[in-house]
Every structure is written in C-alpha cells, then in structure tokens.
Amino acid sequence: MPAAAAAGTVLYALSPALAPGATLPVACILLTGVCYGWLEARLFFEAARLEKLAHVVIALAGSRVVKVIVVAGLGALGSAWQIVLDALAVIGCGTCLIAATRALAHMETRPTSTAWKLPVTERAGFIAFVILFPVLNAVGRALSPLGFWGDVGIVGADALPSILPACVLFAAVVAAVFHHCDDGGMFPRMAAALLILLGALLLADKPTLESFAVPEAVIHSLSLSVELLSHFLFWLAGVMAARTLEWPPLRSTAMAELVMSSAAILFSLILQAASGLGRFIVIAALYGAVAVLMAVVWKAWQTGHEATEAASVSDLTEACALIAAERNLSPREAEVLALLAVGRSRTFIMEQFVISDATVKSHTNHIYQKLGIHSKRELITLARER
C-alpha cells in the first residue's frame, strides 16, 4: 500500500505529460486516497494496541503536530522536490508502521497489563464520544476559514510563524487535560476535552475575532489549533471506544469515519446555504443537542459509577466478614475491620461506635496482630484481594 501510494503520487504529477485528460489524474487520486486511508487506519490500529494510555495520547497528538509541520516544510520546496519527498515520506510511514507492528507483536508475548481497561459503566459514554467527536471534527472543518486539508495558508515557510504557536497551544491543552491519564478517570477527561473543543469552536470564529481587532496571524493560529484538537480528539475517541468496548479497531475506525464524513457533507451543505443568523441558529442547535446528549450520558455514568462503588463496598464487607471468621476476631474488631477496609479514619470509627481514640487504637493493633499485618494499607490490600 505505501508503494502504491508513492507510485500514485508520482503518476499524478506526470499525468499531464503521460496521458492528457482527466482519467489518469482521477485514477491516481482514488488510488492514493485509498492508500493514505489505509496508512491512517494502520496508525489507529497500532495506537490502540499500546499498553499505556499516555503513549496513545502522545502518538496521536504527535502525529497531528508532525503532519502540519511537514506539510508546511514541503510547501517551501519546489514542485519536483515535493513530489519526490512525498513519495519517500509515504514509504517511510509504511516502514515505520511495519516496524511498530512487529515490535508490538513481540511485546504481546509477555503478560499484558490491564491498567488501561475502563469500567463497564463508561461503555455508553464512549459510544457517545465516538459519535460526538467525529461530528465536531466535521463541524470544525465545515466552519474553518483555514481549510486545514489543503489551504495554501498552511503551506510553505511563511506559514510556520502561525503554525508553530498553534502546535504549542494544542500540545499545552492536550498536556493539561490528559496528564497522568493512566491513573484512570478517562471519562471525565474526555468530557472536559469536549467542553474545551465546543468553546474553542465558538470562540475561534473569524468574523467575531476580527471585530475585536485580533491580528490575522493570531486568528490563523487559533483556527489551526482548533483543527488540530478536533482531529486529535476524533482519533482518541475511536481508540478509547475500541479499548473500552473491545471492538475490533477496524469497526471503530469505520464508525468514526462514517460519522465524520456524513456530518461533514451535511454541515457543508447547510452552512453554505445559510448565512448570518442562519449559521448561528445551526451552530446553536448543534451545541444544544450536544449539551443534552452529554447531560444524559454524564447522568448515566454517575449512576453506574455509584452503583459500581456500592458493589465494591458490599464485596469488601463480605470479604471482611470471612477474614474475621477465619482469624477469630471479636464482633467489635470485625466491625472496625470493615470500616478500616473501606478507608475510614480513626475519628470516624470513634464517632460511629462512641468509643475513645485509645480504644480504637487497641482494636486496630489487635486486628493487625491477628491478621499478621503492620499497616492500614496492608489491611486494605488483604481485604481487596480476598
């Protein structure tokens, strides 16, 4: 596929001399489109197989930054060099993906960590994300005056002064939202990213910014940073859906692309026909629908999360009862054990049973001795592993 993409690129450039007419150029466009789509899907597949979520975020965000900088750099060269380097780049991408596939296949022979797996309560939320983020990516492309996928404003050395600040802003937002993402809680992070993207799409409106006398270069950078963020979140939503729902990566890719492509066509037609107040109404309606959907999803997530926590507490209570019976704990020691296992403090236990701090310490020491442990952390671990 990479070799076919390189051949299609070269043939497209030579088509006027080889075969006048539209047949060969159109065939080359179709060929390279399929091949580049394959390469992008392969990036998605390999990113979805990475063990740590932080590595997924770095891979997807880094690919967006590298792409826009390389596009600007290649645009500064002559046409012949652009063709040659483009053909070499696509072969290089294919080589890197082959190497990544082999490396990850080798890593998968070892025990795989399950740290990235998400709670079942978040399944519905990530189905919503894999729909919402592609739609918002399509909206960003439809509304953007930049035209990220081909406007001359991002091609050539003259574009770098606005591209580099956009990349820095994009990287800063990603780092702020997704730092320590392997610690869990990806649903709230994705929800926060959704709010940031919605706000950015609203604030990065060129006519509005121009009315406040914002410089053209700043507007250009803001527009590009929004495009980078929307496309990054589009892919991240697909990856997270694949990991959460245990879908085949191709299904997540196809679903996300289908939603985005359909939404892009729909919004392009609507927004081209609308102007002024009509555009505002379309955008406001979209934001309202997103807000309602997110409110429903968030409520469902909270309910499921609370149910999961309640089930966890119930499981710990049962485990503590078994431990108390096996280690001959007194009834009061069993009650104290159950509270310590769920993280309750000595003060809470004092108030719960109306006993002194010395009595709580005495019960705790007896529990430690009978269980053969030396700290509250060991106690919690023992109860959870029961």
The conformation of residue 183, written as its DSSP 8-state character, comes to G
Q: Which residues contact 63 (CB under 8 A, 6 or more apart)?
A: 43
Of 357, 356, 366, 375, nearest in space to 330 by CA: 366
Of 166, 192, 163, nearest in space to 179 by CA: 192
The conformation of residue 342, written as its DSSP 8-state character, comes to T
CB atoms within 10 A of CB 1: 16
Residue 317 lies in a domain: yes
- Cite the beta strand spans of the chain per DSSP E: none
Whether 194 and 265 map to the same domain: the answer is yes
Of 149, 133, 298, nearest in space to 229 by CA: 133
**Count: domains in the chain:** 2
> What residues in the chain have per-residue pLDDT under 50?
109-116, 145-150, 277
Q: Which domain holds residue 137?
A: 2-107+117-273
Residue 64 lies in a domain: yes
Residue 287 lies in a domain: no
Whether 265 and 338 map to the same domain: the answer is no
So what's the pLDDT on residue 116? 47
Whether 131 and 256 map to the same domain: the answer is yes
Residue 319 belongs to domain with CATH number: 1.10.10.10
So what's the pLDDT on residue 127? 78
Whether 261 and 312 map to the same domain: the answer is no
Whether 250 and 312 map to the same domain: the answer is no
Q: Which residues contact 319 (CB under 8 A, 6 or more apart)?
A: 341, 383, 384, 386
Residue 178 lies in a domain: yes
Q: What is the pLDDT of residues 29-81, one digit of tens each?
A: 999 988 888 888 888 777 877 878 888 899 899 988 988 888 777 777 888 88
Contact between residue 129 and residue 240 where contact means Cβ atoms under 8 Å apart: yes
Contact between residue 69 and residue 178 where contact means Cβ atoms under 8 Å apart: no
Whether 155 and 247 map to the same domain: the answer is yes
Residue 288 lies in a domain: no
DSSP labels, 261-295: HHHHHHHHHHHHH--THHHHHHHHHHHHHHHHHHH
Contact between residue 133 and residue 240 where contact means Cβ atoms under 8 Å apart: no
Instruction: Please report where in the chains the tokens 């309560």 appear, as a residue.
Output: 121
Return the SS3 of 59. helix
Whether 124 and 229 map to the same domain: the answer is yes
- Which of 249, 273, 297 corresponds to the end of one domain? 273
Whether 206 and 329 map to the same domain: the answer is no
SS3 content of the chain, % helix, strand, coil (to 5): 85, 0, 15
Whether 257 and 362 map to the same domain: the answer is no
Residue 100 lies in a domain: yes
So what's the pLDDT on residue 113? 39
Of 349, 112, 93, 130, nearest in space to 255 by CA: 130
